[in-house]
Structures are given as structure tokens and as C-alpha cells.
Structure 1
Amino acid sequence: MRILIADDHDLVRETIALFLKSEGLGDASVADSLDDALDVMAAEGPFDLVLLDYNMPGMDGLIGVDRMKASSGATPIAILSGTASPAVAREAIAVGAAGFVPKTLAARSMVNAIRLMVSGEVFIPYDFIQQDASDPAGDLSTREMQVVRGLADGKSNKEIARDLGLQEVTIKLHVKSLCRKLDAKNRTQAAMIARDRRLV
């Protein structure tokens, strides 16, 4: 089994890699950012599974999943996180991730989760996904909250992109995601719904 683990914390990725090897899952390749992971994929792929840390450099929320999918073909990609909410976990599955693995997951459970995802199944811990977010903005990522504030201020995608230091195409993807999550037909309605919910 060939696994690529991408996490910007040395201890986390090395510990997971060593544990998986001790459990007979083979040697894992490691990376410390999304760009590094993409380079490893190009040089050493294909892999049986890719684990991407949700908060590492280059991910920009779940857009990193799309970037890795574009380069990895049919390889299943899972999100690894110690801080993401259940809403993020659900969104990860919605955008095509093979699973969501909390860093708090017991070591043996992680092995079982990896075997499940490699076999083509989707993994997400039931008790984790059932947690209710108390935050009214729980379904929106931090970046989406920044974008919806820009929409509420009447800014264009180009202006929001400049404010956040992002590409305009990235903002377009966030607006599309916002409209889906808020059940809005367009950016104007998304801003109105956000105001009604007192998100901005």
C-alpha cells in the first residue's frame, strides 16, 4: 500500500508514517505543504491514498482537494485535521474527498479508516459528524465568511480577491460554494441571506 501524507507539522506526519509502517501498511511518502504534495505526486505517484492536512500551506480550505484531484487521477484523497468542524467534514465529502480523519482518532481506528478508504469506501466518524455547531456560521469556513463580508459590502470578485491576496478564480469558487450552502440563487441573494442570519 502506498500512502502520501501531507502535513506541515513534522511530528504529526512522521508519527503517522511510522505508525502505518509498523502496522504493515508500507512506507509512506511525506510532504509539508500542498505544493510539496503535488510535486511528490508527480515524482512518485500514483498512490493508493492521499491524506491532506486541512490547515497546511496551499490548501485554502477545500480548494486544495480539487487541486490534488486534478493531478492524482482516481487516487482517493482524504482530509486530516485537528481543528476543522463537522460542517467542514461534510463539505469535504461533498466536494469529493474519500474521507475526513480527525487527528484525535485512535491509532487503530485510523488504520481501519485508511484501509476502508483505499478499498473505495468513504470514511467519516459518525460521532464527529453528529456534533452540532453552536456557531450560526458553522456551515461556512473562515475564508467563506471573509468572502461573504465582501459581497455584503458590494465588492466585486476582483476587489475581494485583492483584499484577501487571492486569485479572482478562487473567489469565484468560494462564491459558488457560498450560494450552495446558503441556498442562494446568486451573489446578491447570498449577501442578503448572510445579513438576515446576522453573519455580517
Structure 2
Amino acid sequence: MKLRILIADDHDMVRETLAMFLGADGTVQTTAAHDLPEALAKMRSEGPFDLVLLDYSMPGMKGLDGLRTAIAAHGGNPVGLISGTASRLIADQALEMGAAGFLPKTMSAKSLVNAVRFMAAGEIYAPVGFMSGKEDPEETDFEKVLSDRERQVLRGLMHAQSNKEIARDLDLQEVTIKLHVKTLCRKLDAKNRTDAAMIARDAGFV
């Protein structure tokens, strides 16, 4: 009997490449979704699957909130996370929440197929090199463009704090926070403070 895998990713090339690798030997049947709402709809109409793979930063995910929703919707069946941007901390948190595994998009095709089979069999998969930090840089590309202070302010934005609240927490003037928010929006190409927080969350910044 074929393994049934749902691959949810907003990049066509990623979905198609994964489907090609997994379906190469004819033992895996893949179904595609391009965002979380479509994945949830297919889980309801065509599930349960032997494994659901979710891209961490696709539309609808809202960070790990989407993973939590999918795990609940899949009724105890395996749900794994794939990502090209998420940090080791995000991977740790995903596993703690009950994810079947975490797959960096940098994995080789052979490793990827083996990992998927492992998760579909009910095992937990986490790549040792990535999880030990050997393949994880000290800072992500996203973090490198930000100063330490900007990161502190950004965390405040991600917690929906006002400039006044952030200023109080960091012991700074409110006008200083306002300037940092302006700089953050420019650096992240964000429309406003809410957009900056969403961009940061999608990039796996914590």
C-alpha cells in the first residue's frame, strides 16, 4: 500500500521537487497544498494522511500557531515541519509541541526521503547536525541586519507592545523607540509595525 503524504508549501518548485523525490520509487502518493487553509481543507476531505509536511513560513502559518492547528486537525497522525529559514530554537519548539520532525530544506534528496519514511512510520525525526548547531549559523541572515537594540524593539512589536511599553521595558525614551521602529520598518521593508512583526515571525525570529 502506498504512503499518502500531504506536502504544503507556497513555492511550486519546492512542492514539485519534494513530490518527485518521494514518488520516484512508486511507493509514495503525494497531495499538494499551497497554504495552511488549503492543507487543513485537504486533511478534512482526503485525510488522514500517513504524514503531513508543512512549510514553516507559508501563508496562514503564523509561525508555530499553524503547526499547532494542523496537529489538532490531523487527529494524532504525524505532522512534520519543513523550512529553509527557521532556526534551531524553532525546530526545538516544534518538536516539543508534538511535531513528527523537522526537515531543513538543505537536506539531500536521499536523506529527505528517508526522513519522510521515518516520520510516516510514527518515529520522530530531527537532523543531528542541524539540531546540534553544526549546520546552524550563530545568526540568521535576517538577524545580521539588525542591531541588538533593534532586535529588542522588534521582540516588543512581536508581543504587540506599544512604544511606551517597549520604552519602559528597555528603560529608554519613547521617542527613541519610535526612531527604532522607523528604522526597523525600513530595514525589513515593512509597511508598518504590525507588518514588521509578521515578517520577523515568518523569518523564525524569536
TM-score by length of 1: 0.70
The equivalent residue for 2:34 is 32
SS of the aligned residue for 2:86 comes to: coil
Letter of the 1:40 counterpart: K
CA pair 71-103 structure 1, distance change in 2 beyond 3 A: same
Tell me which of 117, 135, 138 is aligned to 1:134: 138
Higher relative contact order, structure no. (Cα contacts within 8 Å, ≥ 6 residues apart): 2
CA pair 40-124 structure 1, distance change in 2 beyond 3 A: same
Aligned positions of 1:33-112 closer than 5 A? 33-112=35-114
The equivalent residue for 1:189 is none
Return the alpha-carbon distance in structure 1 between the equivalents of residues 84 and 68 of structure 2: 21
Identity of aligned residues (%): 45
How many matched pairs? 158
> Is residue 164 from structure 1 mapped to residue 164 from structure 2 by the alignment?
no
Letter of the 1:150 counterpart: Q
CA RMSD of aligned residues (A): 2.9
Please, which runs of 5 or more residues in structure 2 have no aligned partner?
144-150, 167-192, 196-200
SS of the aligned residue for 2:31 comes to: strand
CA pair 7-164 structure 1, distance change in 2 beyond 3 A: same
SS of the aligned residue for 2:39 comes to: helix
Letter of the 1:128 counterpart: F
The structure with the largest alpha-carbon Rg is 2
Instruction: Check the 8 A contact 1:3/1:28 in 2, yes or no.
Output: yes
**Displacement of 1:133:** 5.7
Tell me which of 155, 165, 186 is aligned to 1:154: 165
Return the alpha-carbon distance in structure 2 between the equivalents of residues 97 and 144 of structure 1: 25
Q: Which runs of 4+ in 1 moved over 4 A?
A: none
- 1:161-181 Cα offsets, whole Å, 9 max, x none, are xx638xxxxxxxx9xxxxxx9
TM-score by length of 2: 0.68
**Displacement of 1:122:** 0.8
Return the alpha-carbon distance in structure 1 between the equivalents of residues 156 and 51 of structure 2: 31
**Displacement of 1:148:** 3.9
The equivalent residue for 2:174 is none
Return the alpha-carbon distance in structure 2 between the equivalents of residues 9 and 126 of structure 1: 26
**Displacement of 1:124:** 0.8
The equivalent residue for 1:190 is none
Please, which runs of 5 or more residues in structure 1 have no aligned partner?
156-162, 166-173, 175-180, 182-200
